[in-house]
């Protein structure tokens, strides 16, 4: 399992004539490495999505484009965020660390009481 501390996101434009299958790419980094430790590829609906893979020290996860917003939301709003990949099953994922229940409501309630 690896920790994600930074990311960069790219969205691509192109019609069907461009033969562009991948709509978006998110590169994920940690503090120990300047190259991505994990890259998520997001594909047009209806296109073949290749299997997940690992190349040297980078995991490549592949998703339909419908998952892009959810993936980006997790990176933007959760800390810490981890990724994992099983080379045997080719299953990979990202996940948040443990967080307190009702975190947002507690913050809102605290803000109301301090005004």
Q: For residue 23, what pLDDT band results from cuts at 50, 70 and 90?
A: confident
Give the global pTM.
0.81
Provide the number of structural domains found in the chain.
Answer: 1
Q: What is the pLDDT of residue 90?
A: 97
Give the range of the structural domain holding residue 67, as residue numbers without chain letter: 2-114
Report which of residues 87 and 14 the model is more confident about.
87
Asked if residue 46 lies in contact with residue 66, where contact means CB atoms within 8 angstroms, the answer is no
**Span 77-101, average pLDDT:** 93
Query: Per-residue pLDDT for 108 more than 60?
Result: no
């Amino acid at each position: 399992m690896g920790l994600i501390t930074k990311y960069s996101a790219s969205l691509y434009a192109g019609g069907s004539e461009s033969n562009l299958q991948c709509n978006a790419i998110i590169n994920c980094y940690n503090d120990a490495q300047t190259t991505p430790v994990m890259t998520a590829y997001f594909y047009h609906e209806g296109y073949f999505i290749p299997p997940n893979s690992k190349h040297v020290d980078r995991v490549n996860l592949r998703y339909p484009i419908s998952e892009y917003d959810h993936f980006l939301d997790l990176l933007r709003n959760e800390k810490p965020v981890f990724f994992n990949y099983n080379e045997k099953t080719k299953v990979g994922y990202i996940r948040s660390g443990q967080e307190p229940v009702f975190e947002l409501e507690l913050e809102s309630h605290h803000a109301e009481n301090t005004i």
